[in-house]
Structure 1
Amino acid sequence: MTLPDLPAARRRLDSALDDLTVVFRGMTAHPDEYNCDCHWGSAEELARLKVADLELDLDLLHRTWQAPDWTDKAAVLRRILPQLASTLVTGRVAETYSDMETIGRAFAFGAWREWPAGQSAAVEEFLGAWWSHTLTDPDPVVPAHDVLVLVTEATGMVRPWLDAWEAHRFPAADAHLAAAADHWDHDLLGDRLPWSAWENEEELCADLTAWLVRHASDRLRDSGAPEDLLHRIRLLGVTGPDRWDDPHWPDYFYWRLRQEP
């Protein structure tokens, strides 16, 4: 088996981070931007968002991407994007705030795909480079299942990221798949998405489940995953009573969606 080129993946990610810094240099929140000083922060902190390239402390950065009520969400996201991306990659966000879906929504709310071509391309390349590096790295600072949540919420799609995972046929990516499947199966066997999606939750759940059924079993078996995990993934392809009456149905509680007569 050909091993992945981790240094090349890291160089791609570093280049994407550098590009974000260049593309979004000088960006500020709108001069008239406002947020409640009782719930968001002080006037002094708001003023920092209107100064270009001024580094924010982690708490202010968190409150900024978390707030859903900016008047010009795109401008606020552009202002914080280089620092946010760097903080995500180093794991400093995950250490303090593990709500990956909310960070992903901050990207989506900023409507980054509608930005000028150079800006949207820089964001797309960052997301792709970070995902590829995560799959390639045997010990990423942010687990693959968490990164997948963020990039899915940022783009509103899970299939392209799963396609990339399918293309990464390396031991590290297989190990991440085993960890993710073990993390997700409790929800998926209850026909629930393992995170709170902003929209299209049923579609995302169906796509993720179908991909695991099609692609996960062989890779998990080849990588030495436990037999009980293989059975749990197999059961994702079984529906109704055949699922929960299966002899390998886990003995801990799952939601049973049996329709009462």
Structure 2
Amino acid sequence: MIPDRTEVSDLLEKALAGAAATFQGMTAHRQESNCECHWGSAEELALLKTPDVPLDEDLLRRTYWTTDWRYPGPLLRRILPQLTRSLVAGRVMPMAGMDSLGYLFTTARWQEWPKGQRDALREFLDAWWLHILVEPDAKVPAHEALAFVAETTTTLSPWLAVWTESLVDAVARRRLVTAVEEWVDDL
């Protein structure tokens, strides 16, 4: 049974708070590096190695766009509190679709993180997916969110099962129609 919108909103806020608390104090690996000519300055890299300093939207975007980090796990943990909020707000702009953002999660090998960290991230993904399906003002289209959660977790079936279960909701049904319209040429 899919919770009502108020419960979904509460679940999402709890998951965002959980991610913020769980990943508070995290930093990029001390030996992390990247080319200044295509990523950013040494000062910006130093910000990623400093815990809890908010990143401006441009630096956050360049950080999750970049695919050649040597230590993607610590890097993702560093940006997760801010990245999860940006996802909900619709400010995440991946280079080649939401599945490209999922690549960072996959290379970070989050499913091998300590249990509390895995659980906090999974709680966020579950709550955000429900939010996407039932919230009329969700900022990310369901078909893009589905690509992201499927890439991030390397599985599609559980996410589709939640969508099927949520089809009792008019918003979730509209999200499905929109997704089919987006996918019709590929189908």
Give the shorter-chain TM-score range: over 0.9
Alpha-carbon shift at residue 182 of structure 1 (Å):
0.7
Percent of aligned pairs sharing the same letter: 47
Alpha-carbon shift at residue 139 of structure 1 (Å):
3.1
- 5+ long unaligned stretches in structure 2: none
Residue 88 of structure 2 contacts residue 138 of structure 2 at CA under 8 Å; is this kept in 1? no
Deviations 1:91-134, CA, capped at 9 Å, x for gaps: 1124x867311111111111100000000011111001000111
1:106 maps to which of 95, 100, 104:
104
1:161 maps to which of 159, 162, 186:
159
Partner of 1:232: none
In structure 2, C-alpha distance between the alignment counterparts of 1:127 and 1:171, rounded to whole Å:
22
Superposed CA RMSD in Å reads: 1.6
Amino acid at match of 2:183: W
Secondary structure, in 3 states, of the residue corresponding to 1:51? coil
Aligned pair count reads 186
Alpha-carbon shift at residue 65 of structure 1 (Å):
1.0
Secondary structure, in 3 states, of the residue corresponding to 1:92? coil
Amino acid at match of 2:144: D
Partner of 2:91: 92
In structure 1, C-alpha distance between the alignment counterparts of 2:3 and 2:96, rounded to whole Å:
28
Residue 66 of structure 1 contacts residue 103 of structure 1 at CA under 8 Å; is this kept in 2? yes
Partner of 2:185: 186
Partner of 1:133: 131
In structure 1, C-alpha distance between the alignment counterparts of 2:21 and 2:156, rounded to whole Å:
28
In structure 1, C-alpha distance between the alignment counterparts of 2:170 and 2:31, rounded to whole Å:
51
Higher relative contact order (CA 8 A, sep 6+): 2
When residues 98 and 134 of structure 1 are mapped into structure 2, their CA distance, relative to the original with a 3 A threshold, is farther
Moved over 4 A (4+): none
Equivalence map 1:203-214=2 (5 Å): none
Alpha-carbon shift at residue 62 of structure 1 (Å):
1.0
Residue 4 of structure 1 contacts residue 136 of structure 1 at CA under 8 Å; is this kept in 2? no
Residue 106 of structure 2 contacts residue 152 of structure 2 at CA under 8 Å; is this kept in 1? yes
**TM-score (normalised: structure 1):** 0.68
In structure 2, C-alpha distance between the alignment counterparts of 1:103 and 1:151, rounded to whole Å:
10
Partner of 2:51: 52
- 5+ long unaligned stretches in structure 1: 189-261
Residue 65 of structure 2 contacts residue 95 of structure 2 at CA under 8 Å; is this kept in 1? no
